[in-house]
Structure 1
């Protein structure tokens, strides 16, 4: 009798677990296509625009050519067959007709081993110097690259590669100064099957957010399940973390020792990838994956499957509290698949994707 009770209890637990997985995969989600105004694809971007950051003058730095290090064999073969290259692109909201410019690198940077993911851009208020931090997925490890932008020559000077055992499987980076930053480790396993088991089937909370203070790596928050994008609040008192699997925005307060304490967990009902700040209102913009199982299919075989894209505006009552959502953009994947990030400047919006296109839209719904 005791064994029967134990067996039934385990069956209930496992049934609830897998029901939760199916629910989070989004099989029940319904999506309706709509835009905030006229939209079109930016020419010359075919292999992703995974993350971006826009400066106050409208210059936007974009990572492209994302290599999914835990992707399927099909994805890796396709990456090689299409000769995809890691790139940093520059788009200027003031001259959108010029499209994107591919930035060059100084001769000392090893381009074949450049697979960019998350990006953070910081500009020195006194000198105007622009510094970029970029997550780089190498074949055997992850590291974070530091560049300085030379606007005259449209080049990136490579300054430093941050390498440490604390950088496990990085997703995004948020600069706090020219020599310090937070970054997210979204998983521990570096294999396709290992990550599938860790993050999706078993749902082990082995993700973390780490802070580099210029000398030491400090684990700022642990026990996280697949933390994606990270973004510093305008007042630098809070860190916004995209909680993809739990479809929420996590707002952390930054303690005196640079560690993080949770302030608010705000439900978005769609899986966020990256956050950016809308400059006029201070609200957050989120690129989200609304149907996760389709996103997974697309990332494993982008030449076969499309995946939905959704852009949300998260209304902030202050830098530490979210209250309300406006859906700005929704697409079933016909125009842009697996959208990850959105940036708005002067009522114009860019939408990036993991390995697909780059969209440009007029935003008339907020006028």
Structure 2
């Protein structure tokens, strides 16, 4: 009897291990390799060496880029340097990035660890940035006002709340899905549909002109979280057109096995130009 129980427990353990391994392999797309989709007019952006995890492009072509994210389990090429916010003017013929100086209230810049970026413009055309920050791996939101003439950010406020660590994701990373909700005037949400992909979907940017979704993706999650410089994480950009229709059109705009760009997180477009950011690597500029 004891031997039978032992064999049963071993069998259950092996079954659990197989199921767990299968789930892990499926969620992280462990075995997927990328077939390159090349764009001829692309080049890496000089001055971005430690990631460009999120970016926002204003209607006037100014792009804000967060760089230098450090987080447990994620590779960092500059682990001892604080993060920064970069500016890029896509109206220029050969746009370059400029690091924005941060001034104002008591923000500890040595602990600045920027993640996501959102922007809004008030009725007077003043531009504000909301930046998710992880000082000492905690979570705050930093409010900045963009000062265009000085090429700087005026820090106005640090927002903290116990609910900041609870997120509602439209892109469900490990489930390979994008969920679509309808937002009502009373701020409630109604789920409309979900789209499933053969990739780990990350940040989503909406083209304000066409309504198309541009998504930075990770074709192979294992390579992202278990970094190997000999076999780096690939990059992928998807464009989703007519997402509210019965048959949205999904186009693989860019794909690369990591030799040029590692771990793409976000893509955004402006007047035929595209920026592609990464978790910890470089950033790509393309003329579409």
State the TM-score, normalizing by the size of structure 1.
Answer: 0.71
* Contact 2:238/2:251 (<8 A) preserved: yes
Cα separation, 2, equivalents of 1:143 and 1:117? 10
Residue in structure 1 matched with residue 99 of structure 2 by the alignment: 102
Cα separation, 2, equivalents of 1:165 and 1:57? 35
Cα separation, 1, equivalents of 2:137 and 2:35? 41
* Contact 1:60/1:90 (<8 A) preserved: yes
Cα separation, 1, equivalents of 2:69 and 2:215? 19
Gaps of 5+ in 1: 169-184, 186-207, 210-226, 228-240
Cα separation, 1, equivalents of 2:136 and 2:246? 39
1:120 matched to 2:45? The reply is no
Aligned residues: 284
5 Å-filtered alignment, 1:34-183, equals 34-68=37-71, 70-71=72-73, 75=75, 79-80=78-79, 83-108=80-105, 109-124=107-122, 126-139=123-136, 141-168=138-165
1:253 matched to 2:255? The reply is no
Cα separation, 2, equivalents of 1:309 and 1:140? 26
* Contact 1:342/1:351 (<8 A) preserved: yes
For residues 284-312 of structure 1, the C-alpha deviation after alignment (integer angstroms, 9 at most, x for no partner) is 000000011001123xx6x6652100000
User: Per the alignment, in what secondary structure is the counterpart of residue 24 of structure 2?
Assistant: helix
2:238 to 280, 294, 312: 312
For residues 85-110 of structure 1, the C-alpha deviation after alignment (integer angstroms, 9 at most, x for no partner) is 21110111111524101111115332
Cα separation, 1, equivalents of 2:141 and 2:287? 33
Residue in structure 1 matched with residue 256 of structure 2 by the alignment: 331
Cα separation, 2, equivalents of 1:10 and 1:264? 37
Cα separation, 2, equivalents of 1:106 and 1:86? 15
| Cα 1:253/1:316, change in 2 over 3 Å | same
| Cα 1:317/1:79, change in 2 over 3 Å | closer
Cα separation, 2, equivalents of 1:269 and 1:86? 31
* Contact 2:28/2:200 (<8 A) preserved: no
2:220 to 291, 294, 318: 291
CA positional deviation for 1:155: 1.1
* Contact 2:239/2:251 (<8 A) preserved: yes
Gaps of 5+ in 2: none
* CA RMSD, Structure 1 to Structure 2 (Å): 2.5
5 Å-filtered alignment, 1:244-283, equals 244-255=173-184, 257-283=186-212
User: Per the alignment, in what secondary structure is the counterpart of residue 294 of structure 1?
Assistant: helix
| Over 4 Å off, 4+ runs | 1-14
Residue in structure 2 matched with residue 223 of structure 1 by the alignment: none
For residues 7-55 of structure 1, the C-alpha deviation after alignment (integer angstroms, 9 at most, x for no partner) is 8677545533321211222233131112233110110110011100111
For residues 182-217 of structure 1, the C-alpha deviation after alignment (integer angstroms, 9 at most, x for no partner) is xxx4xxxxxxxxxxxxxxxxxxxxxx42xxxxxxxx
State the TM-score, normalizing by the size of structure 2.
Answer: 0.89
| Cα 1:56/1:361, change in 2 over 3 Å | same
1:351 matched to 2:276? The reply is yes
* Contact 2:50/2:78 (<8 A) preserved: no
Cα separation, 2, equivalents of 1:90 and 1:321? 38
| Cα 1:144/1:105, change in 2 over 3 Å | same
Cα separation, 2, equivalents of 1:297 and 1:40? 26
User: Per the alignment, in what secondary structure is the counterpart of residue 40 of structure 2?
Assistant: coil
Cα separation, 1, equivalents of 2:243 and 2:35? 28
Say which structure, 1 or 2, has more relative contact order (CA 8 Å, 6+ apart): 2
Larger radius of gyration: 2
* Contact 2:275/2:286 (<8 A) preserved: yes
